[in-house]
Amino acid sequence: MSEPLKIVGLGGSLAKVSSSRAVLAIALEGAEEAGAEIELLDLRELGLPMYNPDDDELTAATARLVETMHGADGHLWSSPLYQGSVSGSFKNALDWLHVLGGWEPPHLTDKVIGLISAAGGTQGLQAINTMEFSVRAVRAWAVPFVVPVPTAARLFDDGGRLQNEAFERQLKMLGSEVVRVAERFRVEESPDHEAECEKARERVAAAA
Ligand SMILES: Cc1cc2nc3c(=O)[nH]c(=O)nc-3n(C[C@H](O)[C@H](O)[C@H](O)COP(=O)(O)O)c2cc1C
């Protein structure tokens, strides 16, 4: 039997009670139920410094972030909707992934990513669309099914737990979908992944 896939959840806000963290945990449960090993990278708990290109030496927190994300087979990303987009803390975490450019394989090549947002209103898809640009930037693949959770104040209780079975089902489905697709990527992975990446780099450079 092959090793279980590793799926990492990145997100939540810096607030103590966070709806984007709560929905991320539910989606991770879905991935676990589908047979994956899971790990939550909670942005509040990580306490990442601001990314600065002049000072990007890894600290314990930033090393955990980039190593865990690079080592996983798939991810679930969840951001609150802030001013019509992803939160600054979520984007800062993505900015730290810049250091993965020199790793092997570079960036987050061929990772499978499921996207979630939690919003006060109904425009959570804007955060998801923004995340999708970043998915492409880090050379990963977003699964087509996404979960923008709207009107957070109405769907969550005071303890920040989701009180809506339909969204709970969708979030778990997204988690299992990331596992299903990551499994396919693993099956179809070239035995020589490094050489595949080199070929891809050459093709991209030749087309530039
Ligand atoms: C700084 C800030 C900006 C926000 N901007 C928006 C927004 O543009 N649209 C919206 O629908 N909700 C907005 N909200 C509401 C949050 O998206 C909503 O409360 C969300 O559930 C917060 O996620 P969290 O519980 O994980 O912190 C904003 C909240 C904050 C604190």
CATH of 6-207, one of 3.90.1820.10, 3.40.50.360, 1.10.630.10, 1.20.210.10: 3.40.50.360
Is residue 15 in contact with ligand 1, taking CB distance under 6 Å?
Answer: yes
The structure tokens listed for 159 are 């303890």
| Residue 94 DSSP SS3 | helix
Tell how far the Cα of 87 is from the centroid of ligand 1, in angstroms. Answer: 8
Is the pTM higher than 0.95? The answer reads no
Domains of the chain, by residue range, sit at 6-207
Measure the CA–CA gap between 140 and 69, rounded to whole angstroms. 11
Sites in the chain below the pLDDT cut of 50 = none
**Per-residue pLDDT reduced to its tens digit, 89-134:** 999 999 999 999 999 999 999 999 999 999 999 999 999 999 999 9
Task: Identify the pLDDT of residue 139.
Answer: 97
Tokens 């990580």 belong to residue? 46
Judging by DSSP bridges, how do beta strands 6-11 and 74-82 pair with one another? parallel
Closest residue (by CA) to atom 31 of ligand 1? 82
For residue 141, what is the enclosing H or E element?
A: strand 141-142
Closest residue (by CA) to atom 1 of ligand 1? 82
Task: Identify the pLDDT of residue 82.
Answer: 98
Is residue 80 in contact with ligand 1, taking CB distance under 6 Å?
Answer: yes
Our mutation pick for probing the ligand 1 site, out of 42, 82, 85, 125, counting the most ligand atoms within 8 A of Cβ, is 82
